Amino acid sequence: MTIDIAFSLFGGLGLFIYGMVQMSEGLQKAAGKRLKNLLGMLTTNRFIGLLVGTVVTAIIQSSSATTVMVVGFVNAGLMTLKQSIGVIMGANIGTTITAQLIAFNLSKYALHAVAIGAIFYLFGKSERSQYYGQVIFGFGVLFLGMTIMKDTMAPLGESQLFIELVHRFGRYPLLGLLVGALVTMVVQSSSASVGILLSLLAVGAIDYKVALPILLGSNIGTTITAILSSISANRTAKQAAAAHLIFNLLGSVLVMAFYYIIPDFGNLVEQGVGKFTGIIGGVATPERMLANTHTLFNVINTIIWIPFVGFLVTLVKKMVPGEEITIKRGLTYLDERMLETPGFALSQLKKEALRMYDLAAEMVKETEEAFREYDLELVQAVEEKEDIINELEEELVKFITRFPRHSMSETDIKTIDLYYAIIDDIESMADDAHDIVELIRYKQENDIEFSGEAQETIDNCFNKVFEMMADTRAIIQKFDKELAEKILAGEAYMDRYQIETRNGHMERLGKGICDPNAGIIYLEVLDDLEHISDQMADIVHSMLDFRGR
């Protein structure tokens, strides 16, 4: 019987979590990139960040998804640590909407929602209708899971062992806090642990005062998702995850302290939430009161701590020491207003192209360092800069298309076309560097070793590329015919060297000297380096064409 109850309980929980995931995924797909853009753009201060975090989380029904996105934005340099804290606070408020929905007790409509959602999901003619079908289907599965959990837990109210356990939680609130945190860490969802609590309340297995410390614990446990997502991220992203933990921990511990300082604190909170529920027109059922407590706790905790965001930033920087890692994204030297003076805008366009080139050169340098001695942070830095260069290329191309060509000289128009070509070549160089770090990841994950000869060949190629890159930057800065010839000669050398080394490698492979897996990576890296030299030669050819050879 006990085994049957366990399977029913975990089966119901599984359906609940699956339904929640389906709802969240469907809503995110339906919203497309708009929610991500909202998170990335509307976080100029803590209050706007708070609002955005609340709205986004309420829509996608997952604080975990929001905090993971925030960690990703911080890792990519799109968001500062201070901005991220406001969004995380908002996510804590937004996630309480799930408990509010569950408290409506719509279980009797669960199968209706599953049926309607499945129809839209399977037979919808448009992607959007399929996404909405996924949301409705997930909503139904969630409540179906709740129904199973409630039915499974109903006999617990008559179990003497469980009643004694509940009384123990009532006597030791700290124990309830730890259980709530542990359960939420295991299922990695505060909504799931709150769903279990609401099921226990609905069947009378526990009362409000026992549920309250467990609810507080769930607020601590939910931070595990952001912490796990930050493990492989940069230091600033780790600081954002730590801020999430500290914020939730401080609030929960503060309330827990009141349990031991204020006599009969649980009853006082129950009475206060009961009055609040009546004031807003709700029926004070145990489920509704717990859902309202969840919302009130996160709102009040946010109101208390939002003036002290600066203190939280200082605290997490001491916990996770190191400088904040952010890279300037977007255009630095160009502005829409400059289009009124195209000549000045062209000189600024050159600065943007050089800045973009410097980023690509840093990528290639970091790639060589990571290849020589594997470093995950260097690999991540290259990946981050590749995203920045892609964004920069997109913004530069948009800017270039807005030049008033009808009022510009032929020389100025040719200059625009020249930089358009240069920008495209730089972006291709960044792509090649990114391809190499993917090969480095594969090499590291599969414990692939290169022979000394192979490593020496790659080092030689990198050194030649570095030499060409310094010359190419100089020629973008100021055209020099001798440098142009030197770069073209370097590209021809890379072509010959690649053919020679490829032939030598094939001979070693035929004799069984080289590992075939290492050989594949070796040849791919040589191809990427040779292609980088091709892009620099293309820049020279574009400049020669501009000057009429």
Query: How remote is the C-alpha of 153 from its chain's centroid?
Result: 37
* CATH for the 339-546 domain, from 1.20.1370.20, 3.40.50.620, 1.10.150.120, 1.20.58.220: 1.20.58.220
What sign for the dihedral angle of Cα 376, 378, 383, 384? positive
SS3 480: coil
Distance separating alpha carbons of residues 494 and 501, to the nearest angstrom: 10
Separation in Å, CA 212 to CA 114, 180, 208, 217, 508: 32, 10, 6, 9, 70
Q: What is the pLDDT of residue 1?
A: 46
Q: For residue 36, what pLDDT is reported?
A: 52
- Both tokens of residue 120? 């839209």
User: What's the full length of the chain, in residues?
Assistant: 549
Residues of the chain with CATH 1.20.58.220: 339-546
**How far is 81 from 289, CA to CA, in rounded Å?**
34
Contacts of 161 (CB under 8 A, 6+ apart): none
- Cβ proximity of 43 and 78 under 8 Å: no
Q: What pLDDT, on the 0 to 100 scale, is given for residue 354?
A: 92
Q: Do residues 422 and 542 touch, judged by C-beta distance below 8 A?
A: yes
CB 88 within 8 A of CB 323: no
List Cβ neighbours of 271 (8 Å cut-off, separation of 6 or more). Answer: none
* Non-local CB neighbours of 538 within 8 Å, separated by 6+ positions: 421, 425
Give 321: exposed, middle or buried? Use CB within 10 Å, 0-12, 13-18, 19+: exposed
What is the pLDDT at residue 34? 56
pLDDT in the model for residue 466 = 93
Where the chain has pLDDT below 50, the residues are 1, 42
Q: What is the pLDDT of residue 227?
A: 83
Q: Please answer whether residues 516 and 451 qualify as being in contact, where contact means their C-beta atoms are separated by less than 8 angstroms.
A: no
